[in-house]
C-alpha cells in the first residue's frame, strides 16, 4: 500500500495539491481552472473522474477558482468549514457550490484517508491547514500563513512530508515595486510567511521522521526557487537536519511525484 503526492500548481495564480492512495484520491484546493486541473492531473496519470473530494483551505480565488466547474462537470464533493463555505458563497468563483461541512479541529475521513483540519492565521474567513493521514504516514499541508503558531508546530512536528509556504524573500519584497499597503498585508500576522520565517519553523520542528519538504506559494516577483531552496537547506543543515529532501513547487508545472510505501 502506498500514497502518492504531487503539487499540481502553487502560487498566486492557482494552488492545487493531489494526494492519492490505491482507493482514494483527493485535491487540496482547486485554484486552477477545471480545464487546467484536468490537464495537470493527466500529466501525472490521473483524471478528474477519479477524484473523491476537494478539501478547501480557504476561499481566496487562487484556491477555489475551479471548484464550481469541477463539481458540476465531475460531481466531485467539496469539503469546507462553515467560515470557508460562507466565503465561497460570497466569492464570484464559488458560484453555487455545494459543500460538505467539516469542523475545524475535528478529523474526518474520505475513503481510507483521514484528514485533520487545523486553524492557521491568514486574512480569510476561517483558514485551515490539513494533516492528511494514511496508515502511519502523515502529510502536512500548510500554505497562506501569517505567523507560526504553537498549533502549527504541533501539527507539523509528526509529519513525514510537509508542504509549506515559502512566499517571499524579505529583501526582495521590500525592494519590489508594489504598493506599501500590499507589502504591509503580506508582512502582517494575517499575511504570508517569508523564506526565513518558514525555514525557521521547519528547522525547529524537524526530527528524524521528516523526510520530504515541498516549498509552496512562492511569489513570482518577490522570490526565486534558488533563494527559497538555499534558505531552507542552509537552515536545516545548521540544525543538523540535512537528511530532509527539499523540493520547490511552481505555478506553471507539476512538481515531482512523491510515492511513499
| pLDDT in the model for residue 261 | 86
Inter-residue contact 8 to 18 (CB < 8 Å):
yes
- Please say if the pLDDT value at position 94 is more than 90: no
Q: What is the pLDDT of residue 60?
A: 96
Model pLDDT, residue 1:
77
Q: Please give the torsion angle defined by the CA atoms of residues 167, 199, 106 and 120, in that order, rounded to the nearest 10 degrees.
A: -40
Mean pLDDT of 174-198: 94
Which cell numbers in the block locate residue 186? 503580506
- 92 pLDDT exceeds 90? no
Is a pLDDT exceeding 90 seen at residue 70? yes
* Confidence check: pLDDT of 93 > 60: no
Beta bridge partners of 17: 7, 28
- Residue boundaries of the structural domains of the chain: 1-102, 145-250
1-102: CATH class: alpha beta
- Note the pLDDT tens digit of each residue in 109-147: 999 999 999 999 999 999 999 999 999 999 999 999 999
Q: Are 1-102 and 145-250 in the same CATH fold?
A: yes
Residue 10: which of 119, 118, 163, 153 has the closest Cα?
Answer: 163
With respect to CATH, is domain 145-250 assigned 3.30.930.10? no
Residues 168, 192: contact at Cβ < 8 Å? yes
Distances (CA, A) of 188 to 167, 203, 204: 13, 22, 22
CA distance 39 to 33: 10
94: left (phi over 0), alpha (psi -120 to 50) or beta: alpha
Arithmetic mean of pLDDT, 245-259: 97
**Average pLDDT of the chain to the nearest whole number:** 96
pTM here? 0.96
Amino acid at each position: 500500500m502506498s500514497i502518492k503526492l504531487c503539487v499540481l500548481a502553487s502560487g498566486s495564480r492557482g494552488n492545487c495539491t493531489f494526494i492519492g492512495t490505491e482507493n482514494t484520491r483527493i485535491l487540496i484546493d482547486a485554484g486552477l481552472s477545471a480545464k487546467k486541473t484536468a490537464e495537470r492531473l493527466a500529466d501525472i496519470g490521473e483524471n478528474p473522474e477519479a477524484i473523491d473530494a476537494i478539501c478547501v483551505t480557504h476561499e481566496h480565488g487562487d484556491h477555489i477558482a475551479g471548484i464550481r466547474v469541477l463539481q458540476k462537470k465531475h460531481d466531485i464533493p467539496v469539503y469546507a468549514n462553515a467560515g470557508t463555505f460562507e466565503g465561497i458563497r460570497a466569492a464570484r468563483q464559488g458560484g453555487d457550490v455545494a459543500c460538505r461541512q467539516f469542523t475545524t479541529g475535528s478529523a474526518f475521513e474520505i475513503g481510507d484517508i483521514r484528514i485533520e483540519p487545523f486553524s492557521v492565521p491568514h486574512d480569510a474567513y476561517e483558514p485551515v491547514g490539513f494533516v492528511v493521514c494514511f496508515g502511519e504516514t502523515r502529510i502536512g499541508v500548510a500554505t497562506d500563513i501569517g505567523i507560526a503558531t504553537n498549533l502549527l508546530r504541533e501539527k507539523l512536528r509528526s509529519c513525514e512530508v510537509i508542504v509549506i509556504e515559502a512566499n517571499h524573500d524579505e529583501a526582495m519584497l521590500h525592494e519590489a515595486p508594489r504598493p506599501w499597503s500590499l507589502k504591509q498585508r503580506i508582512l502582517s500576522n494575517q499575511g504570508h510567511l517569508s523564506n526565513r520565517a518558514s525555514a525557521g519553523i521547519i528547522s525547529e520542528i524537524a526530527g528524524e521522521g521528516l523526510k520530504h519538504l515541498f516549498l509552496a506559494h512562492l511569489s513570482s516577483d518577490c522570490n526565486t526557487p534558488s533563494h527559497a531552496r538555499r534558505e531552507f537547506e542552509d537552515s536545516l543543515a545548521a540544525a543538523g537536519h540535512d537528511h530532509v529532501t527539499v523540493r520547490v513547487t511552481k505555478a506553471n508545472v507539476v512538481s515531482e511525484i512523491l510515492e511513499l510505501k
